[in-house]
Amino acid sequence: MIRSYRAKLLVAFLAIVALLLSLLGGLGYLNFKNYYLANLEARLTKESYLVADMTQYRIGSGSASRTYQDICITAARDSDTRVTIIDSTGTVIGDSEIDPSTLDNHSTRPEVFTALHGQVGVDTRYSDTLNMNMLYVAVPFSNEELSGAVRMAMPLAELQGIYNRALMGILLAALLCGFAAILASIILAQFLSRPLRGITAAVQELAAGNL
């Protein structure tokens, strides 16, 4: 009976601990994903505005002049992202990875559409050009020549790799906590079943006629 009680107590403790670890681990993973994605979007937004500022000083004297394509390539090298510059009609006038003349009109792309209307645009979708899922952030820009949008893009595969490493870390921490919880549950079950052992011993003494 004592062993049965102790086993039930131990199983109950372990079930509660497993439930709590699962909930905390899941919430921690989701919070990390949301936090990291929000920070990444903020970083890409800031860098997109920096590229937008670069278009203000595109035209210099002599060899100092740069094309929009040059700006995209330079910015992409510094930020490790794909950079695209689109004019107000949706025509791509610069892209760090693809010849702009081969790209179709971008005015209907959700993030570009939003940026062309003066707001920061964010979207995640599959890129038919690069054949991969991408995170896009676009901001408006204007200079003396024209206005349009600067867009930065990052492969979601890189983001998923970071998520997977974070998940492995959370699972490892949960596993270690689980082992610690098992030991604590065994000790606690022993402690809580001690009074029952005393009561059982007393009942056995009474049953044997040892008053």
Pairing of strands 92-95, 82-87: antiparallel
Which pLDDT tens digit goes with each residue over 123-146? Answer: 998 887 778 888 999 999 998 889
CA–CA separation, 56 vs 73, rounded Å? 16
pTM of the model: 0.68
Which pLDDT tens digit goes with each residue over 67-113? Answer: 999 999 999 998 889 999 999 999 999 999 999 999 999 999 999 99
Other C-beta atoms lying within 10 Å of the C-beta of residue 70: 14
Which pLDDT tens digit goes with each residue over 161-207? Answer: 777 787 888 788 878 877 777 777 677 666 666 665 555 555 555 55
Which pLDDT tens digit goes with each residue over 23-69? Answer: 887 888 788 888 888 888 999 999 999 999 998 887 655 555 789 99
State the pLDDT at residue 206: 57
pLDDT greater than 50 at residue 2: no
Mean pLDDT value across the chain: 82
On whether the CB atoms of residues 76 and 151 are closer than 8 A, the answer is no
On whether the CB atoms of residues 87 and 146 are closer than 8 A, the answer is yes
State the pLDDT at residue 8: 72
